[in-house]
Amino acid sequence: MAASNHSLSLVSCLPLPERGVVTIYGAGGKTILMDVLARELTARKKTAIQTTTTKIFRPEDVPVVIGEDFPEVAGRLTTHIGMDGRVILGTKLLRENKIDGIDPAWPEALLENHVADYVIVEADGAARKPIKGYASYEPVFPTRSDLLIPVLGIEAIGQPVTSDHVHRCDAFRRLTGAPPDGPLAVSHFAGCMMHMIGLGQASSPDTPVVPLINKVDRLSGTGMIQEVAAALSGTDGRILFASLQNDHPVRFVYQGGKGKQGFEFSVVVLAAGGSVRMGRPKLSLRIQGKTLLENALTPIGRTGMKDVVVVFSEENEGLKELIPPGYRVVVNRRSREGISTSLKAGLAAVDPCSQGVLFALGDQPFIGAEVYARLMDHHRRNLPLLTWPTHGGKRGNPVLFDRRLWPQLLQ
């Protein structure tokens, strides 16, 4: 499912099909993940059923459908979901405000009967702990999953490996080699996540698995994120580091696998300026046999970056023929309102899984590829909010804006 909005949303960063079953398992944020994802989907005019194959707490603000007869339940779901866009499904109401789960075959049947666009399934329990070990019967995967999301809470790292912090503590120790009562290390955390990824892959070999690490807002810096990302660097695909209670939940996106750089970046080349020299756009003037714009784009091409967006004004749109294959063009029809409109137009077009965006100027032809490379290397190693070059003690361009600043740029 494509999304054009870059509010650091889950929907923008997950490989969602147009319709499907999303299975969530693990600890440290499953229920809130299910809730946030359902709200984002309904905001995009999709319908969602939130359910479980085990047990979940009954939420306060979402309609609930309870029943054990599938045809009867499917009919009631259709009525409720038409009014609210989403609904909670269970088979029984239990003590302690809990809901008993459904048969693992139901999510697939609900999709086949077109009851909803998405069925979001919580597939195991964790007793509200941030991390867990696994019993032999867990997770209880549905018969169909189109996306698997294993979840852990990063606040588990450094805590004692006891039942106060770890669900199924003995199983966790056996799985990870963590010492009794000792501090939970990054290696134990990563070992647990790798095991969870393996469980998902074994249950549905052709289904994408996107790990999510929650509660990064509790960290005082980004060092722990770097450590966890390094420990999971053998994972093929993206890893989301999130703060699910934040309005813009996906804070960091690590890209693993062959040909990936870990934290990756996009470039927006601002070429919407209205400057004219000698009766033609300034960007079309030639230096050393190439236009200003071509000279500005050449070093970007040498960096190997795959996501490059060039923003033109209507007046400069004729320069599109100078753009190399694979680059994308955005025409800002509001360019006369100021450079901020071009910043927003370019940012709205970049890969939503980039960790940051370099804003470059199309009329600066002498910035070498090594400048871009050093900026990105510094940002990967430190993950600051802003990275910029300096010369003679003064700040210059291009400037790299981390994704955590995107919502402010888009205001």
> Has residue 3 got a pLDDT over 50?
no
> Has residue 2 got a pLDDT over 50?
no
pLDDT tens, residue by residue, 86-108: 999 999 999 889 999 999 999 99
CATH code, 265-409: 3.90.550.10
- The first and second tokens of residue 6, run together, are 């870059």
Question: Among 184-188, 248-252, 261-265, where is mean pLDDT lowest?
Answer: 261-265
pLDDT tens, residue by residue, 225-237: 999 999 998 888 9
Contact 203, 145 (CB under 8 A): yes
Place of tokens 């490996």: 161
**Does CATH number 3.30.60 belong to domain 10-256?**
no
Closest CA to 55 of 143, 123, 137, 134: 123
Question: Among 123-132, 152-161, 303-312, where is mean pLDDT lowest?
Answer: 303-312
- The first and second tokens of residue 306, run together, are 């795959």
- The first and second tokens of residue 156, run together, are 């588990």
In the chain, % of residues over pLDDT 90: 77
- The verdict on whether omega for the bond into residue 407 sits within 30 degrees of 0, i.e. cis, is no
Reported as a pLDDT band with limits 50, 70 and 90, residue 1 is very low
Closest CA to 263 of 150, 350, 344, 382: 382
pLDDT of residue 6: 55
Residue boundaries of the structural domains of the chain: 10-256, 265-409
> Within 10 A of 389 (CB to CB), how many other CB atoms are there?
17
> Has residue 4 got a pLDDT over 50?
no
pLDDT of residue 217: 95
User: What DSSP state is assigned to residue 262?
Assistant: B
Question: Among 116-130, 276-290, 372-386, where is mean pLDDT lowest?
Answer: 276-290
pLDDT tens, residue by residue, 319-367: 888 898 899 999 999 988 999 999 999 999 999 999 999 999 988 888 9
In the chain, % of residues over pLDDT 70: 97
pLDDT tens, residue by residue, 367-406: 999 999 999 999 999 999 999 999 888 898 999 999 999 9
For the full predicted model, state whether its pTM sits above 0.85.
yes
Average pLDDT for the chain:
93
pLDDT tens, residue by residue, 259-282: 777 999 999 999 987 665 555 778
Query: H/E/C letters for each residue in 305-330?
Result: CCCEEEEEECCCHHHHHHCCCCCEEE
- The first and second tokens of residue 93, run together, are 């109401």
What single string gives the DSSP state of each residue in 133-177? Answer: ---TT-S---S--SEEEEEEEGGGTTSBSSTTTEETHHHHHHHH-
pLDDT of residue 285: 81
